[in-house]
Every structure is written in C-alpha cells, then in structure tokens.
Amino acid sequence: MKMLLADTWVDRERSIEVRDPYDGSVIDTVPAAAAEDIEASLAAAARGAEVARSMTSYQRATVLRDTADSVEKRAEEFARTIAREGSKTIREARKEVRRCVNVLNVSADASKQLVGETIRFDSFPGGENRIGYYERGPIGVVAAITPFNDPLNLVAHKLGPAVAAGNAVILKPATSTPLSALKLVETFVEHGLPPLVIQAITGEARDMGDQLIADDRVRMISFTGGVDTGKMITQRAGLKKLGMELGSNSPVIVWSDSNVAWAAETCVSGAFAAAGQNCIGVQRLYIHDSVYDEFRDRFVSLTSRYQVGDKLSEATDMGPLIDERAAERVERQIRDAERAGATVLTGGTREGTLIPPTVLENVPTSAEIHHQEVFGPTVNLYRVSDLDDAIAQANSLPFGVHAGVFTQDVDTAFYAARELDCGGVMINDSTDYRLDAMPFGGVKDSGLGREGVRFSLYEMTEPKVVCFHLAKPKG
C-alpha cells in the first residue's frame, strides 16, 4: 500500500514488509518515509488546518458518518486485514471493526455538540455592563501516533475526534500494523474529507519521530504506546498539548462474596484477549483466601481450554504475539519468575510467536512479570485476606489505567472504587471492559489526559472567550 503525503498517495524506493506474525508471510509492503517526507507532511498539514477549520460541523459529521457506513459495509475486509497483520483472531478483529464504526458515529454526533456557554461577567465587581460567552475551536495540527495492538479502533479514536473538532491530522501508524490504518484513511478520503486535512505516513519511528514530535506546527501529539517512549516524547515535544495513553499492569480484586464462576470467566477473557497485548488486560489477580482455591481451579481449567493458533480459524481463541522478539521477552519473564520461586499452573511454553495462556502463582514482587507491564498472555494469582491490603497491593505499582473488583456488597464496591488509584474501576467486570464513549486514560505512569470521543474532542480544541462591554446607546 502507499502512504498519503500532502494530497497524493505515494510510494518510495525504500519499503517495509508487513508480515503476518503467525506464519511470517509477507502481506504487503509500505513506504519508508524519509526526513523530506516528514517536512512535506508538516507543511501540507499547516495548510490543511485552515481547510479543516473552514468546514462546518454538518460537513464534518457527514464525512464521519459516511466513513462509518463504508467501514461497516466492508467489515469483513477490514477484519481480515486486522487479523492478518496483527495478533487478533478473526472473531476479535470483527469486534474491533464494530467498535471503530461506533467511534466514528459517536464522533459524528459530537461534532455537532461542540458548544461553549455564556459567562456571567457581572458576577464580580467591575464586570457590570459586560456580557459574553466562550466557544471551542480547533487546535490546528494533531500528530496521531498509534500502536499495533488495536490497529483500526485506536486509529479511529484519534482521527474521529480530530476531524470532528476541525483539525488537520498527520497519522503515524505502528510500523508492524499499518494496513488497517491506511484503509481507514483511504475511506475518509473517498467519502469527502478534503485534501491536506488528513495524511498517513509510514516507516520506522526512529527515522521520523523527533522531526514530527518537536515541530512547532504540530499543536498536539496524541500518542498510544509504551511508557519509555511516552516519556521521551514529553521531553522533546516542546510547548504543545500532549495526550498520552501509556502502559499499565491492571489489578483485579476477587472478594469473598463474589460470583466466583463469573469472575473467573470474565477475567480469563480479560487476561488473554489479543494475546494479552492490551494495556487494560488483567495481569494481577488478588483473590480472597476463602475463595482462592475455587477461583484458581476454575480459572486454570478455563485457560487450559483455549485454542491457540491460526488467527483466521473460527475456532481459534488466541493468536500469536506480534513478533518473535516479543514472544522471547515474555518467555524470558516466565522463566525468570520460575527461578525466583513462582509456579506455572498452565502454559509457559513458546513455539515461535505462540505462547499459550499462562497462569502463575507464588510470584515474588521482585519478579519483572509482577512489577512491569508484560504485554503478553500471562496472569499472576495472589492470595489475600484483608481488603485494605488488597487495595494497597493493587496500588503499589506506578501504573493506573483500570482496576477491577468482584463483590456482591455495595459498601465493598464503593469503598474499593474510592481507594483504588486509577483512571477507571470496573465493578464485577474485568479491567478489559471499555465503552468508547467513556473517558479513558490513566494516572501515574499510565498517561496524560483522557480519550473517549467527547473527552478527546475537548483535548483537541481550545476555548476562546468573547466579551462585549455594553455602553449606553447614543441618542
């Protein structure tokens, strides 16, 4: 596939192969952008910001709605692209397409609801005879940098609000999974998004990152990815807005009065969806001593039934990791935890990029698999007996996107929700639950700002105050 530079789909002599992580086969190639391409995209985006600003909310909503309709009609084509280039099974990919359609439709609605409010200037002495309001306007150029694990929907979460707000966007999709993103950009253009308002540049981040991040023509960077990269961006970005969705290590508390069968079932899917390559996937389970054995046995039994392999097979529950280097890293973390005293209850092996769902207990807190984001199909079980201790352990790491609590007691639920230090608490659901319209993001090292269409829309706009000093009419 080609990349969209300025208003033209272009190729380059140097290209990057996009490979299926399951069998290593080449699916397609994309251009490797050079420094001069980044400069061209920045210059074009600056012009595109003026074009985008002039669009009416009706025009923006129409483009978004028509794009959503087209993606929905081509759902299976998009799903197969997601499944081929990434880690998701075909069933997981179809769900991602449905979410993308929803995000674009919600963005279309939000574009018409981007309003300000009147201000009571006479609420303080000196404000007499003044009346006014504020409105929200586009920020300008947004650089959107997206990861491999949700190659379509996380792109939609950036493009949808950016277009709805009247901004120009430069999209840099993940190097390993650019095809879904390029198809979505292509669909936007086909359905009337004006030239220069959107661009998609492909290639290695090391070849373009600093240039794109530091340029003053970019007024906001919306990034989803790892903590280390996020910190680097904050150091080099300069004076501009930042939206950061970074790593996590999501804890779940399963309390004594919980529905153990439901907790085990939903936490298995919450831990191993997308082969565990998910910033809100379940990684640590703190289980009350009185139900620990029952929960462990159910959880391990359900996990051991997972079918791992061909992503395009309807029977497959979990596919491969994104590449062999990622699989080797997860395997090393498992072996290191075993040497430190952990017990592998199921899984723990590796064959190429495939690692079966892996459950561990007796994991020491010093183990990397405990205190870092694994981003792989592993989960750790811990026995607890005191709620405050469970909450303290859940809060003990420098991450905080989602946490989960399973309990039938309303006091326990509200208390835990108040005390857990994170961006969202899921009661009687795994941490993997997300509604695309809700505010989504984390605290501590897990990010800055919030996504979710309406909340991204605010991040991607600036308020402007207009105040009239009313004088007595003449005559």
Residue 473 lies in a domain: no
**Rounded Cα–Cα distance for residues 255 and 263 (Å):** 10
Residues 194 and 269 grouped into a single domain = no
Q: Which two tokens stand for residue 374?
A: 């694994």
pLDDT confidence of residue 160 = 98
Residues in the chain where the model's pLDDT stays below 50: none
Q: Give pLDDT tens digits for 335-352.
A: 999 999 999 999 999 999
Q: Give pLDDT tens digits for 147-163.
A: 999 999 999 999 999 99
Q: Give pLDDT tens digits for 42-66.
A: 999 999 999 999 999 999 999 999 9
Which residue type is seen at 376?
A: G
Residue 185 lies in a domain: yes
Residues 139 and 68 grouped into a single domain = yes
pLDDT confidence of residue 111 = 96
Count of all residues that appear for the chain in the document: 475
pLDDT confidence of residue 475 = 66
Residue 381 lies in a domain: yes
Residues 158 and 235 grouped into a single domain = yes
The CATH number of whichever domain residue 405 belongs to comes to 3.40.309.10
**Rounded Cα–Cα distance for residues 346 and 448 (Å):** 36
Q: Give the DSSP H or E segment for 122.
A: none
Q: Where are the strands (E) in 99-177, listed by range?
A: 117-119, 130-138, 141-145, 168-172
- Predicted TM-score (pTM) of the model is 0.96
Kindly list the distances between the CA atom of residue 458 and the CA atoms of 110, 113, 193, 441, in Å, as whole numbers in the listed order.
Answer: 10, 11, 21, 14
**Rounded Cα–Cα distance for residues 82 and 94 (Å):** 9
pLDDT confidence of residue 136 = 96
Within 166-206, where are the H helices? 179-190
Mean pLDDT for the chain overall = 97
Residue 319 lies in a domain: yes
What b-and-e string marks burial along 299-320, b requiring 16 or more CB atoms within 10 Å of the CB?
A: bbebbeebebbbbbeeebbbbb
The CATH number of whichever domain residue 161 belongs to comes to 3.40.605.10
Residues 303 and 449 grouped into a single domain = no
Which residue type is seen at 452?
A: G
Catalytic residues: 245, 279
pLDDT confidence of residue 209 = 72
